Structure 1
Amino acid sequence: MNRLIILYTWVCFVVSVPVVRADGRPRSAKPTITKTPYGELEGKKIYEYTLTNANGMQVKVINYGATITDIITPDKDGKLASVVLGFDSLKVYTGRMNALMGAVVGRVANRITNKRFTIDGQEYVLSGNIHGGAKGFNKRIWDIEEVPGNKEVALKVTYFSPDGEEGYPGNLKVTITYTLTNNNELKLDYKATTDKATPLILTNHTYFNLSGSKDDKVLDTELSIASDKFLEAKPGPMPTGKLLDVKGTPFDFTSPRKIGERILDTAKQLTQVNGYDLTFALRNQSGKLAKIATAYEPLSGREMQVYTTEPGLVFYTGNHLNPGVIGRGGKASTKNAAFCLETQHYPDSPNIPQFPNSIVRPGETFSSQTVYKFSVRK
């Protein structure tokens, strides 16, 4: 009789343990990679790849622009929803209204004064002064290799940029590995080599809204940034080369503050760009991975921590998004509907000697890592 009671109790304990997650998949499921057709461009097939971890978190990437089209994470109630802006079709991603949504930006992200720079006495003139030129990396078709695993899954994306492309010197090979871990981390590992000295500033231009569609604005999202100085900028916005203290300014995020708390301040670098669009000089200048920002959205309970090896962070509040930009699900984008936290070297670095070096030379390997880690506060 005693044996029966013990056995009955043990069986009841086992079956009471939840065996599925909020998305219906077994909790023991291994992370997966799936691939679906997304269209065709320049005679090449475009695919959307979906990385799914054991918790149901998903990251979606297309080989046009090595673009992150979606990131889906759970909220404080375990409900999955998208936390980034994106589009429903390749046609919109390739259209003129696409504000670099989720794309890789290069060779040089952000601005270059007068679309020119000089290396070793040789002047180079570019096709444009912003985001890599007229046809930067965000408009190129990348090769993608799937990297399966038991605790994490990844996509290795590569692009070969020939000497002279958009005016840049050197044959440049770029590899970026997107890794999704079972700890709900999205890791971006950048590597590049060249056969001529060339400037290189790479970043990803994903627009975040951590509410999962619960709030059309990000003004109530709390943000902290590990930075005591920001880059002074003139209209453009183009850096002057000076670093200014954040203390006593609306750019002080050394402790958590709502994004919208001081966005209407009359400080010049807010009014001239209609919101936040500036580069922070991070405390960590060691080149080693460190946490540099935390964003918390109170409605969903989602938190995103950002780690990077880069010296700078561009904070942008979607100042120029407008209802003419129709996003995922037919939803119109609006000003301040999302924010960007772009880890990178400082804008216009090739022309400002006191800024951290952004020139990669033959025999060197450019290496950089950024991590976005998602969690919830109950």
Structure 2
Amino acid sequence: MSPGKVFGCLADGVEVHSMSLATRGGLSVEVMTYGATIRSLKAPSAEGLVETILGFERLSDYEADKTYQACIVGRTVNRLRQASFRCDDAVWQVTRNEGPNHLHGGAKGLSRRVWRADARPSDEAPLVLRYVSPAGEEGYPGVLAVEVTLSLPEAMTLQIDYKAEVDAPCPVDLTHHLYFNLDQTPGGDLLDHSLGIRGDEILHVDEACLATGLRLPVAGTLFDLHRPQPLSAILSRKHPQLTQIGLNQSWVLGADTGLDTAPAATLYAPRSGLELALYTDQPCLQAYAGLSRAVAAWGAVALEPQGFIDAVSQPAFPSPWLKPGQVYRRTSRYRFQNLGEA
């Protein structure tokens, strides 16, 4: 009934553990207590188990990382304008960690904390990680108690359930920042991957990638991915919202997407034959294809189910506020298939 094995020690000497989650003939997952980070997510293919996400071999690399490799992000994911928000006539100033703005929960957020893992009877049992964020951490109001459960409801499906409660009103929006590449082999190329997203609109953002409150229809643009397109084709086109680093957009998901309906996104690698279908009950999906070979040899695309960007500042967006007595619940499912050679 151990919480896992020691993966290493942080610079301050705190131990970090890693745990396995696996089913026979299915996915093999490794999770760390540091940032509730998914260090490895392997799926079976014709060539054996294939690593599908990026990560590091050493804990020190995770400590130094600034790209949010596969960790949880929050209390709020994405960006908050001027790192502040108003509640009951009080202005809350949270950490500025991207110029004057707030990104992914702050300098440490939930991503750089050591979580507590429940003991389990076996590697097939769901893995539960918990963290209590004290009042004032990163400038947020109130105490936030978070519980993340990772499970394998099917051999080829990873499910992540998020649960949170507060003792004072606080904006809450949680996700995992997984960078995917389904063909990390010599000769493999992220640009060969086909990406599909079921969204009719993207959120308009300014030069700082902050939402302006506008929504742009995707019809007739490179962002219309109802029919999956190779990333090479997507990134070869031009659009005022396409950033210098590539895709960094948030799609508003259609009403026909959900946990038990159509996937929010699909990603397919023709060489490995692996396809990922992402199901979520979140209203938006951020796709970020800016992690180049200068950072990771294989390149990667991050798929981040989440709420609306900077919803605390945009009254037209659904409210991100969680109040005492309410329970925040969100779920994402990552379902893999081996479609064989294209």
Shared fold, TM over 0.5: yes
Does 1:284 find its partner at 2:286? Answer: no
- Asked whether the equivalents of residues 55 and 182 of structure 1 are also in contact (C-alpha less than 8 Å), the reply is no
Aligned residues: 333
Deviations 1:20-42, CA, capped at 9 Å, x for gaps: xxxxxxxxxxxx99832211123
SS in 1 for 2:232: coil
SS at match of 1:262: helix
Instruction: Name which one, 1 or 2, has greater alpha-carbon Rg.
Output: 1
TM-score if structure 1 supplies the norm length?
0.83
The AA in structure 1 aligned to 2:337 is: S
CA shift, 1:321, in A, is 3.7
Q: Percent identity?
A: 33
Gap change, CA 1:214 and 1:300, over 3 Å in 2: farther
1:290-305 equivalence runs, <5 A: 290=261, 291-305=263-277
Structure 2: gaps spanning 5 or more residues: 97-101
Q: Give 1:335-374 correspondences, 5 Å limit.
A: 337-374=299-336
Counterparts in 2 of 1:360 and 1:316: CA distance versus 1, 3 Å: same
Are the aligned partners of 1:229 and 1:280 in contact in 2 as well (CA < 8 Å)? yes
Could you report, residue by residue, the CA deviation over 1:66-110 in whole angstroms, capped at 9, with x for unpaired residues? 0000111111x1511211111001010001x44111000001111
**Residue matched to 1:46:** 16
RMSD, aligned α-carbons: 2.1
Return closer, same or farther for 1:133/1:254 CA change in 2, 3 Å cut-off: same
Q: Which residue of 1 aligns with 2:39?
A: 69
Offset of 1:296 from its aligned partner? 1.2
**Cα offset, 1:289, TM superposition:** 5.1
The one-letter code matched in structure 2 to 1:223 is L
What is the CA–CA distance in structure 2 between the aligned matches of 1:372 and 1:234, rounded to whole Å? 30
Task: Find the residue that maps to 1:340 and give its secondary structure.
Answer: strand
2:75 aligned with 1:107: yes
Structure 1 Cα separation of the partners of residues 232 and 175 of structure 2: 25
**Structure 1, gaps ≥5 residues long:** 1-31, 326-332
The answer to whether the aligner puts 1:134 opposite 2:112 as a matched pair is no
Instruction: Find the partner of 2:150 among 158, 178, 182.
Output: 178
* Conserved? CA contact 2:26–2:156, under 8 Å: no
**Residue 184 (structure 1) shift:** 1.1
Give 1:217 shift: 3.0
Q: Which amino acid aligns with 2:248?
A: D
1:59 aligned residue: 29
Residues 236-251 of structure 1 mapped to structure 2, 5 A cutoff: 236-251=208-223
**Which 10-residue stretch deviates more, 364-373 or 251-260?**
251-260
307-316 or 350-359, which deviates more: 350-359
| C-alpha distance in 1 between matches for 2:293 and 2:271 | 24
Q: 1:207 aligns with which of 179, 182, 188?
A: 179
| TM-score of the aligned structures, taking structure 2 as reference length | 0.92
Note if 1:91 corresponds to 2:64. no
The structure-2 alpha-carbon separation of the partners of 1:59 and 1:368, relative to structure 1 and needing over 3 Å to count, comes to same
Q: Does 1:256 align with 2:224?
A: no
Partner residue in 2 for 1:118: 86
Aligned to 1:177, the other structure's residue is in SS state strand
In 2, distance between residues paired with 1:132 and 1:55?
37
TM-aligned CA deviation for residue 180 of structure 1? 2.1
Q: Rate the CA distance shift 1:293–1:320 in 2: closer, same or farther, 3 A.
A: closer
In 1, distance between residues paired with 2:120 and 2:265?
Answer: 28
